[in-house]
Structures are given as C-alpha cells and as structure tokens.
Amino acid sequence: MSKKLIIPVLLGASALFAATHKPFYAIGSDGSFVVMAAQADMMIAHLGKDAEGRGASESVKQFGKSLVQDHTTEYQELTVAAAKAQDVIPKGLDRQDIRTINALNCYSGKAFDHAFLTGQATEHERLVRAFKQEAEHGSNADLKAYANKALPVIEKHLHDAEDLLKQKI
C-alpha cells in the first residue's frame, strides 16, 4: 500500500468509528446494558459476516467468522438473561449501527480489512469496559453472570483485532 493511500485509509477508519461511536451506558442501569450489549452483538455479527465475504486476507475472513459465531451465541444468551431480568431486548439494528455498516461499505480490499479491524478493536475495547462495569456493578444477578461469562470472549476478540492490526494485514 502506498503512503498516499495509507493516510486516507487511517484517517477514514478513525473518522468512521469516531463518528459512529456510541456513548457508554449509565452505571447501575441493567436495562441500558441489555440494549447496548444486544445492539453490539447484532452489529458485530453483521460486520463479521461482511468480513467473511469481503475481507482481502484469509485472517480477516476467519476473524469475521468467529465474530459471527461468538456474537450470535452471546445475543442468544443475553436474550435468556434479559428475559429473566424482565428487560426488553432490541431485535434489530439502530440507525447509528446502520450508518457504521454503510460507512464500512465504502472500503474494499486491504482498506476494508484495516477499517474493519480498527473498528473491531475500538468496539471491543468499549465492550470490555462495559462488560466489566456490568459484572462489577450490575444489580441483576443473571445479567452480571452473563457479563462475566461473555467477558473473556470479548477480550479475546479485542486481542485478536489488535494482533491482526499489528500484522498490517
């Protein structure tokens, strides 16, 4: 990749996820955590599916596949925990997630891989903080247990995204 292309790609990826970055949910608000976690699972699974099909490198395609599998499972487990907590879980992507998906559609090849991985690192870093917060400060035992169980998977995804970025895929 030429230096002329690297700068716009880096700036574009940063702007993409900065513009669509979601605010942190309120401490002690299990309902807000449920909404945030469900929407993150749906968006990440959708983007993972995109990466499986559009990724330039096999590593990105495999990472996308693991995101689809893991976040689909997490969404199903969250649905059970939310029902026990009598919280309503969203069933579709919100406008902000749709904007993120549409923005990523502007990229192809290695630029797609980089923008996708940068976004996943940013999103999973945010999720690690949120899931730790819920596990430590949540008021519902089922949601706290869900957050504790899901946290190692989310941390693995964060490390995987960072490792792939370091490899300059």
Inform me whether the pLDDT recorded for 24 exceeds 90.
no
How many structural domains compose the chain? Answer: 1
pLDDT at 5: 42
Residue 65, Cβ density class (10 Å: 0-12 exposed, 13-18 middle, ≥19 buried): middle
Rounded to whole angstroms, how far apart are CA atoms 43 and 153?
Answer: 16
Helix (H, G, I), strand (E, B) or coil at 157: helix
pLDDT in tens, 43-85: 999 999 999 999 999 999 999 999 999 999 999 999 999 999 9
Domain hosting residue 113, numbered range: 27-166
Asked whether residue 97 is assigned to any structural domain, the reply reads yes
Structure tokens at 90: 């969203």
Asked whether residue 19 is assigned to any structural domain, the reply reads no
For residue 29, name the pLDDT band (cuts at 50, 70, 90).
Answer: confident
Contacts of residue 33, defined as CB under 8 A and 6 or more positions apart, other chains included, come to 25, 130, 133, 134, 138, 143, 147
pLDDT at 28: 52
CATH number of the domain to which 49 belongs: 1.20.1260.10
Asked whether residue 1 is assigned to any structural domain, the reply reads no
Asked whether residue 9 is assigned to any structural domain, the reply reads no
Asked whether residue 14 is assigned to any structural domain, the reply reads no
Taking the C-alpha atoms of 44, 45, 50 and 56 in order, what is their torsion angle to the nearest 10 degrees? Answer: 70
Rounded to whole angstroms, how far apart are CA atoms 21 and 27?
Answer: 18
